[in-house]
Amino acid sequence: MTRNTTKTAANTSGLGRRTFLATSGAAIAAPYVFTRRATAQNSEVVVRTPGGAYDDIRREVIYQPFEEKTGIRVVPVAATAAKLLAMFKAGHVELDVIDTGDDPLIQLDKLDALLELPYDSFEYTDPADIIPTYKRSYLVGNFVYAQVLGYSTKAFPSGDEPQSWGDFWDAAAFPGARMLADMASGSPNLEFALIADGVPMDQLYPLDIDRAFASLSRIRPAITKFWDTGALATQMMADHEVDMGSIWHTRVANAIDNGAELAIQWNQHMGQVQAYSIFKDARNLDAAVKFVDFCTSPEIQSVFCARWNAGPVNKKAFDTFPADKIDKVPGSPALEGMGFALDAEWWAENRPKVSEVWSKWILQG
């Protein structure tokens, strides 16, 4: 597809911010409620974010420092990725930067909605320092997170803990209640099912869907529940409703910090990326580029990722990463070779097919 800088037909609406908020169901903290002002272009940047505690941290370590350095106000808008896609297709989006998982960004790129990022104009970040896996023409990584094998230290004390997904699948040697991700979480754990069935991490894609579901069928009797949200997965583990399961590392790490008797098995973890893209016809285009540039700088990456228990996408960020956390985030030198990266493009292409197979498989009981 040939890129250009003209406005796309899908995003030419003059929809006002108040209408946008009403249609999106967005939840924004009071100081950031948006009203369009008669100000010079690029005096602010409107950023789609997940909201909640995420924005609380980013307001302190990113948004306020960025405004102090550049004079550009950051307006965070919390909206789901699904709503973001729906609003764009309806032509009802007035956003500059998108901060989300890479899957919806792949879909938006296929609609020719996203700017080809001008890496050569970056001032705060050397693009060569960004880990290549997380840098594409239309997106650049924000932070790295992972799905890991979490387990109860009450059920599996040191020395007896599961070491792999093969151990997870071995209910005789490692008895206990288990959980895995539901299709509603975004994608079921086909990768872990294939690893347990003997597929090497570097040979997973393209996923053998039939083989993966056959593997899932073997462990299904030991699965207490397939979780659909990170909150549910965390609650089940923290309350010891399950003894082990797939879970986002940020969730289980937070539970451990709060005293939960849990631990992470990093072997065979699946890395994923939260990323930035810029709408091709962003109203505050220069401010949007400057914001993304600022956020990927090593200093900002180090501070934010340490607070969020996430892995940085800028390799220089590890130079100043807190020593007590550096071995506990995906992408760190200590975890090199212990995981693999989810292929978001494969999932974007094949999710409908997997969903169809899942809907029949889950009803089989």
pLDDT digits (tens, 9 = 90+) for 14-69: 333 333 333 333 333 333 333 333 345 679 999 999 888 889 999 999 999 999 99
Fold adopted by 145-272+338-362: D-Maltodextrin-Binding Protein; domain 2 (3.40.190)
**CB neighbours of 334 closer than 8 A, spacing ≥ 6?**
326, 327
Q: How far apart are CA 162 and CA 318, in angstroms?
A: 29
- At 27 the pLDDT is 33
- At 7 the pLDDT is 33
Q: Which CATH number fits domain 9-142+274-333: 3.40.50.2000, 3.20.20.70, 3.40.190.10, 3.40.50.720?
A: 3.40.190.10
Peptide bond into 206 cis (omega under 30): yes
**Residues 204, 340: contact at Cβ < 8 Å?**
yes
State the distance between the two ends of the chain, measured CA to CA, in whole angstroms: 44
Domain ranges of the chain: 9-142+274-333, 145-272+338-362
DSSP 41-60: TTSEEEEEE--THHHHHHII
**Residues 292, 117: contact at Cβ < 8 Å?**
yes
- Which residues does the chain have with pLDDT short of 70? 1-41, 93, 365
- The stretches of 258-323 forming alpha helices (DSSP H) are 285-295, 298-308
- At 40 the pLDDT is 53
Going by C-alpha positions, the residue among 77, 95, 75 that lies closest to residue 13 is: 95
Q: Which letter does DSSP use for residue 102 in this model? A: H
- At 293 the pLDDT is 98
* Token digits of residue 250: 């940020």
Going by C-alpha positions, the residue among 361, 347, 274, 216 that lies closest to residue 48 is: 274
